[in-house]
Amino acid sequence: MRSSTVTKTPLVNKLKPGSAIYNEVVAAGEPWIHEIKAGQVFRIVAIGGTQAVDTLFYSAWDTSERYSAQDTILAQRNIYLKNGSKLMSNLGRPMLSIISDSFGRHDTLTGACAAESNQVRYALEKRHMHNCRNNFLAAIASWRTSIDKRDLSANINFFLHAPVTPEGELSFAEGVSEPGKFVEMRAEMDVIALISNCPQLNNSCNAFNPTAIRVMIWDV
């Protein structure tokens, strides 16, 4: 049976690392995948700051339902994610809600680095460098799920500083998140979270120095 949405008021300010049911460090440049149940709270912490965290979400009941950048932007009429934002699925349903956020300007537009984009943007010899798309593929290959490469759509980049100019141009800028900045979400349905802790070394999204993140989950 498909899980229902959740409207419980979260105990955000009372959540302590010691009470988390899941608490792990994701090394610099590495992938991560995990299921988050409806009603649980999920926190991502940028341990060293200036680190982009490429993230996708899928319904755990039907992975053809997934995070949609277009529906999310349309629903909140804003290209950035912040406290109070709802992450919408391609079926127009809320998947997660941001309930606490110490950064306040998460990117929805720039997507994930890939072998092909490294080659086009930087140089032919950069094609085989570690990249987010390959991280996503490695993570889903290790997980018993129907997600495959066709399901890798436009992702969220938590903590990424990618300003849009008045002329509508998009650029990568030096990271501005400080060590310990975090974003916390309540799952509104059972979801699979897929992360690439971005390994990019060719632009300033990670200050040319990828660092570790911490991921935590609470029952509330």
At residue 24, the pLDDT reads 98
| Encoded tokens for 150 | 């066709």
Please name which of 96, 58, 64, 53 lies closest in space to residue 193, comparing C-alpha atoms: 58
Average pLDDT in the chain: 86
At residue 1, the pLDDT reads 39
Residue 112 is given by DSSP the state -
pTM of the model: 0.88
At residue 4, the pLDDT reads 42
Helices marked H in the chain — which ranges? 69-76, 115-121, 132-141
